[in-house]
Chain A
Amino acid sequence: MKKNRTNISRVIARNVAEILTIGLVAFFIAPLILVLLNASKTNSQIITNALSLPTNWNTLIKNVVTIWNNPNLRYPQALISSTIVTFFSLSGITIFSAMAAWVLLRTRTKLSSAIFMMFVAAMVIPFQVVMFPLVKWFGVFSKFTGIPMLRSYFGIIVAYIGFGSSMSIFMFHGFMKSIPHEIEEAAYVDGCGKIKTFFYIVLPILKPIYVTILILNGIWIWNDFLLPMLVLGKGTPVQTLPLAVNNFAGAFLVSWDLMMTAILMALVPVVIFFLAAQKHIIKGMVEGSVK
């Protein structure tokens, strides 16, 4: 009897929670729906009434084709460039940050604490402080060593690794603490070298964390405008997507229809990546590995 009552109340509670959640989600994606609606209208329609439903959904396809085929935009090339930059930056950030966080955590010396604090403190630095000195330094470095840092893939990828490592190291460090020493010691006793221990034991346990880090950094890098503008430059051979579509925002005339469409087009890979990566953030693998 008591069981039935608590079962029913649980079912009701769950349904209420479902409805509330749907409401919340609607609030969160409502502006995105606005983007979708407006990407399917012409510019004058958008200015007249941003909330109106599109009269002709084919406008969306027309806009996409316009953007894709525009010879000045070189959208397909920008897409490839963005993908290359994002992929290598993410790989770099994730792997190198995990490596750094692990040795900093497991080596209890004053030096390692100091280095860790330095990484964390750098999260506080506002980008405006380093903006111009960064460009100047890259220019000077390129001249002295011959390695092109500006207008090159190498430069922008190093830049993203540099900027993304602080937060990632901070996160890895925090979550690595909850990995019991016993696991690593067991591996060591079994004959695993430190490097093997890290790559084959520690990293897999951290899967939810590093997938999270991949997603968090990926979103920011994929949509970033300022750093590519400084390091890659506008109108140069290597352009990322935000650089390529920036001209839609004119000084007086903004092509809202094309901008909204460009945002939608940038959204698609992100959503796909997110949905695919999600399933790796699954329930605790810690207890599994202990057993």
Chain B
Amino acid sequence: MKKLLVLLSLFMVFMSLTACAKKETIVITWKQNKPEIDAAVQAYAKAYEAETGIKVVATSCGGDSCNLGDMLKADYQAGTMPDIFPIDGIAAYNDWASIIADLSNEAWVQQTSVAYKVDGKTVGFPVAVEGWGMAYNKDLLDQAGIDPSTLNSYAGYVAAFEKLDGMKAELGIDSVVSMVAGTSMNWVTAHHNFNSLLSNGLAYGDLSVTNALLAGTVDQTRLDEYAKWVELLFNYADQTILTTGNYDAQVGAFLNQKAVFLHQGNWVDGNLTTATFKMAFAPHGSSAAVTDGIFVSPPAWYVVNKDSKHLQAVKDFLNYMVTSASGQKYMVTDAGMIPAFKNITLKPAGQLSQSVQAWVASGKVYSWDQYYFTDAFRTNTLGPIYDEFAQKKITLTEFEAQMTAAFIANKK
């Protein structure tokens, strides 16, 4: 026993003395938020070191099991803030504003129209372009004789849903739409679907509805049309998936052709690699008027730590990703992302990603405005209202009333 104690203390002393030996080469740290592409990230880091001699330590943290916000806070407290890390909107920007570098003069800025700008300064490198609309199974729509180009208004969807619902047995589906509203999936309702209320049918970057709601003024006509759209989706969705389904259940139903429509974005391409049918995006039908476009934006932007020890090397790293063949291959081919830069001609393999690119090419895009509302408001205030509605605990009128009350209470 005593010997063990002595061994133990000796070992602890030994361990404490053998800190990791620091090499003299330049090392930059890169944190990104999609663990599923970690293999591609690590491969690119190695390629970068081989091609430029600069070592890149890349870490992935995201999803349910690793909270990137918490990890960044821990890093900051420990004094090991990364050189490159993602932000997803104004709240995250404000958290780190005092250490974010100005990237306005970087070469890549000329190649993109969706960089993150604050007060005229460019500070964020768009990680990718993502989009969502109503993903549809083209084969099933053909079988039912429905033309996707009619799916761009409330009336168009009502007609299509009713027809499809009557043909359930024939098409072999459980429900028309695969939709979720449960607590852990309320980002689909309170973040994405909510955005239809904010920007559907408006010019890209038009914040009039958003600002009005932030001021507590609710356009009841627009809200009513939107609420009817929500009700439509909920009524034609599989009730089990709607109330308690998780991400895999929702996407799985679409993958296995148990539902004709899926309320998700092009990131599901990674989950649909075994799909055997044709698919694409159609607009949301949250207005009586025709709204011919889908919602497109970068999901996150890389910002640079201005206190980095190797600031120029970090900036070079970002430029290299856009201009070099290995950087472009990493972004598009290996990580499957839609590039946000004009000079990149590679196309991602996923059908839904290609659909997004088609909508972008035709200029029919609407903006993502949900981040102007706080995460807390969307997740904890709006989310439960959608949940109550999905569980049929409140009526359409009550849904609209509670949403209105929430906006008024949220007024800054």
Contacts and interface: CB of A to CB of B under 8 A. Distances in A.
B73 interface: yes
Contacts of A256: 248
A250 B267 CA distance: 12
Interface residues of A, number: 46
Contacts of A135: 74, 77-78
Contacts of A47: 248, 252, 255
B77 A139 contact: yes
A275 B125 CA distance: 54
B167 to A, nearest CB: 24
Interface residues of B, number: 48
Contact of B34 (A143, A233, A250): A250
A251 B62 contact: yes
B286 to A, nearest CB: 24
B35 A249 contact: yes
B61 A252 contact: no
Given A48-B252, A72-B42, A234-B71, A91 B77 contact: no
Contacts of A154: 12, 15-16
Interface stretch (A20-28, A100-108, A145-153, A261-269): A145-153
Given A136-B77, A139-B79, A199-B1, A246 B270 contact: no
B62 A151 contact: no
Nearest to B13: A154
Contacts of B74: 131-132, 135, 229-230
Nearest to B59: A235
Contacts of A131: 70, 74
Nearest to B62: A251
A251 B16 contact: no
Contacts of A95: 1, 4-5, 8
B270 A253 contact: yes
Contact of A252 (B36, B65, B255): B36
Contact of B33 (A230, A237, A251): A251
A234 B59 contact: yes
Contact of A157 (B12, B34, B256): B12
A138 interface: yes
A274 interface: no
A16 interface: no
B20 interface: yes
B131 to A, nearest CB: 14
A235 B58 contact: yes
Contacts of A235: 57-60
- Interface majority SS (helix, strand, loop, mixed), chain B: helix
Contacts of B11: 88
A135 B70 CA distance: 12
A72 B45 CA distance: 11
A253 B42 contact: no
A152 B13 CA distance: 12
A54 interface: no
Contacts of B60: 234-235, 247
B63 A252 contact: yes
B267 A92 contact: no
A153 B15 CA distance: 6
Nearest to A249: B65
| Interface core residue of B19, B35, B37, B70 (most chain A CB under 10 Å) | B35
A278 interface: no
A203 B252 contact: no
Interface string B54-94: 00011111111110001101110111100000000000000
B8 A88 contact: yes
Nearest to B247: A252
Contact of A147 (B16, B33, B38, B268): B16
A9 to B, nearest CB: 47
A138 B78 contact: yes
Interface in B31-50: 33-39, 42
Nearest to A199: B1
Interface in A232-287: 233-235, 237, 246-256
B211 interface: no
Contacts of B79: 139, 143
Interface in A42-65: 44, 47-48
B274 interface: yes
B64 A249 contact: yes
Nearest to B64: A249
A253 B248 CA distance: 8
B412 interface: no
Contacts of A158: 12
A156 B314 CA distance: 31
B2 interface: yes
B66 A246 contact: yes
B271 interface: yes
Given A47-B252, A151-B20, A251 B36 contact: yes
A158 B5 CA distance: 15
Given A138-B78, A230-B74, A234-B59, A152 B19 contact: yes
Contact of B16 (A71, A148, A250): A148
A247 B38 contact: yes
B141 to A, nearest CB: 23
Nearest to A196: B2
Interface in A113-171: 131-133, 135-136, 138-139, 143, 147-148, 150-154, 157-158
A91 B247 CA distance: 42
Contacts of B77: 132-133, 135-136, 139
B185 to A, nearest CB: 12
Contacts of A133: 77
B267 A252 contact: yes
Nearest to A99: B5
Nearest to B58: A235
17 contacts: A47-B248, A48-B252, A72-B42, A132-B73, A132-B77, A139-B77, A199-B1, A235-B60, A246-B35, A246-B66, A247-B35, A250-B36, A251-B35, A251-B62, A252-B63, A253-B270, A254-B63
Interface of A: 44, 47-48, 71-72, 88, 91-92, 95, 131-133, 135-136, 138-139, 143, 147-148, 150-154, 157-158, 199, 203, 225, 229-230, 233-235, 237, 246-256
Given A135-B74, A135-B78, 10 more contacts: A47-B252, A139-B79, A154-B16, A233-B59, A235-B60, A247-B38, A249-B63, A250-B34, A251-B63, A252-B247
- Shortest beta-carbon contacts, A-B, top 5: A250-B36, A235-B59, A251-B63, A136-B77, A154-B16
